[in-house]
Amino acid sequence: MGQYTASELWSITAMQSFAGFSLFSVLLLMALGLAIIFGQMGVVNLAHGEFMALGAYTVYLCSQLAHTYAPALVPIYFLVAIVAAFLASALAGLFVEWSLIRFLYKRPLDTLLATWGLSLIMQQLFRTIFGAREVTPTLPDWLMGSFKPSESIDIPINGVFVMALTLALTGGVWLFMYRSRLGLRMRATVQNRSMSGAVGINTRWVDRMTFSLGCGIAGVAGAAFTTIGSTGPDSGSRYIVDTFLVVVFGGTASLAGTIASAFGIAQAQSIFEFFLEGTMGKVAVLLTIVIILMIRPKGLFANKVRS
Amino acid sequence: MKILFDRLFAGKHGARNLLVLGLILLVILPLSLDIFRLNLVGKYLTYAFVGVGLVLLWGKAGVLSLGQGVFFGLGGYCMAMFLKLEASDPISTKIQSTPGIPDFMDWNQLKALPSFWVPFHSFPFASAAVFVVPALLAFFIGLAMFKRRVGGVYFAVITQAIALIISLAIDGNQGLTGGRNGITDLRTLLGHDIRSQHAQYVLYFTTCVLLIGVILLLQWMLSGKMGKILLAMRDREDRVRFSGYDVSAYKIFIFSLAAALSGLGGALFVVQVGFISPSLVGIVPSIEMVIFTAVGGKLSLYGAVYGALLVNTGKSLFSENFPQLWLFMMGGLFIAVVVLFPNGIAGIWQNLTEKFSGWSAARRKAPVAVATEVIAPVALETETSKTP
């Protein structure tokens, strides 16, 4: 590291940690939905990345619509598009739960295999409908550009936007899980299904809502994703392993654990990637996680509740 | 003699299955296909080695690994390193700036052979490494995870992460491993050209004979105490543990054995196809190998072979003619197998034969559909599987 001066190192650290924050937002956004579906319900949803891509494609469609039919709405379409992305993915999740997942709740390994099949089908659907090329929605002007707090530091606005969205969504999920009736029923069903049924909770309905909500959150993640990168048919599957590692590493049933592990993984990865060559940085991070998981299989924040 | 027959061929049914498989692989296919197609079949059969390993691991022991492609790839790389060194002797590489090292190292400005490549000059070492390297890796992964009683979904996710790590690591070290292109341009094996038609016939039959040998060996192993303990472990692990068996030791053994078999498959792949690359190591090939096994029937050793053959034949037919439809087909097939036919082709076949041969009704209602060649479910399992 000898070739950098102290102030340059400081700027590098600032920008890399900002890059780490962006990656943290992306990982957390993806992991939030999965933390509900996998952490709470125990369904291994390998098609989670495709629900995210679905959200991203919804935003793309909205941007095309806004441009063709209502150019005046272009500055604000994005906010509507986020809601549309949530609804599209949540509805798709509802359908998938009804047609596939509900038959497999007692066979977690089989959900893994079936959702892999589902992800292949969804990827091919995207490819058939939108083409194999990556697409980018036209972003409103207020998302472009960057802040410049000092000479050598450059902070893009879209990154800040994604972080704000992440914060809002995380807060929303927390409120939902710990302060709402459906959240209460959801946690009750996870802890003891038959007892929840006995006190009058419709556990099947709760399952369906939970799965659909997790998919909807993935859709929002996809929408956020369009502001920082383009969307292709397989862009969801690129992150699926990372996302699972985030959830497993954090300890499956813990929201705080998911946040902490997303933060740690993202920071480590962006710092390693700067000092090691591209892929080897990722190898180092993943290897560290796997080794820690081998020592502490329940993750950082293990849930002490008996299952 | 009768006992040996029963254990090796799993009785009359097993002997019939073996005969059918032998006829198909050694007589019907070589007579009806040209050498190009036969070489493809040989390639698919190398996946079947991973498949029979998965039958052991997933079907019998109930542990699903999503990292079998890693072991296949490691075996393949061990063999490819030997072949590459043989192909890059100082005379045929004299135009390089450093003669005598593989071409991709020269392109990456390496001046000497990396030390871990050196032992691969020796054929005995390389052939041992084909089994030992994957088995050792599996042993350590298994030791770390099964001793801590990590299983099920966690094991699957972590093995998948390991598949990602290894494929990225191979991909990222171009000078040491050939990077994304892999190790290509392999020509001879101990002086024999592996690309000639004659060699391809020899390699095809070698693959078939080794595969059948592996199946017989596993059959023999499964028909004994090992098979019963594995099934019992899958269905009621605690009870096996309380009975005093070291469950993790059995799992580690099976995982390492499956890894070694996958390594053998990988090595045979390399000599038949003539290259290896990280695209055969990562997540996607690992999951595809699970698909072959699931389609063939995860409880049946023979099913895994037919699964590998059928899915791959389907893949090459469909991706040649309807590339758009292939992923739909593959995805749909997978969902269908999981939801409708959990025991794959072998399960369907068995249901059919049972219906026609009019076996006892009680047998048909057994909770776990017993695949064609399998031992009857252990009493322990049928008795306890009803308690939630």
What is the reported pLDDT for A86? 93
Q: Please compute the mean of the pLDDT values over residues B240-246 and round it to a whole number.
A: 87
In chain A, residues with a C-beta closer than 8 Å to the C-beta of B327 are 120-121, 123-124, 127
DSSP state of B117: G
Give B41-63 pLDDT, tens digit per residue.
Answer: 888 999 999 999 999 888 888 88
Answer with the residue of higher pLDDT: B92 or B133: B133
Nearest chain B CA: its distance from A265 CA (Å)? 14
Taking CB atoms and an 8 Å limit, are B164 and A120 in contact across chains? no
Give B144-176 pLDDT, tens digit per residue.
Answer: 888 888 777 888 888 988 998 898 888 888 778
pTM of the model as a whole: 0.84
Tell me the pLDDT band of B386, cut-offs 50, 70 and 90.
Answer: very low
Q: Please compute the mean of the pLDDT values over residues B361-370 and round it to a whole number.
A: 49
DSSP state of A231: B
The backbone torsions φ and ψ at residue B363, rounded to the nearest 5 degrees and listed phi first, read -60, -40
Q: What is the pLDDT along chain A (307 residues), one digit of tens a residue?
A: 456 777 777 777 777 777 777 778 888 888 888 888 887 787 888 899 999 999 999 999 888 888 888 777 777 788 888 899 999 999 999 999 998 888 888 887 888 888 888 998 998 899 888 888 888 887 777 777 777 766 666 777 777 888 888 889 889 888 988 888 888 888 888 888 888 889 888 888 888 998 999 999 999 988 888 887 788 888 878 888 888 888 888 876 678 888 888 888 888 887 777 777 667 878 888 888 888 888 777 777 665 544 4
β-strand partners of A233: none
Asked if B359 has any chain A CB less than 8 Å from its own CB, the reply is no
- Closest by Cβ to A112, choosing from B156, B172, B331: B156
What is the reported pLDDT for B375? 41
Nearest chain B CA: its distance from A149 CA (Å)? 36
Q: Please compute the mean of the pLDDT values over residues B296-315 and round it to a whole number.
A: 86
CA distance A195 to B163: 40
Q: What is the DSSP string of B181-214?
A: G-B----EETTEETTSHHHHHHHHHHHHHHHHHH
CA distance B176 to B164: 18
- Chosen for mutation from B147, B335, B343 (greatest number of chain A CBs closer than 10 Å) is B335
Q: What ipTM does this complex have?
A: 0.82
The backbone torsions φ and ψ at residue A134, rounded to the nearest 5 degrees and listed phi first, read -75, 145
- Kindly report the average pLDDT of chain B as a whole number: 81
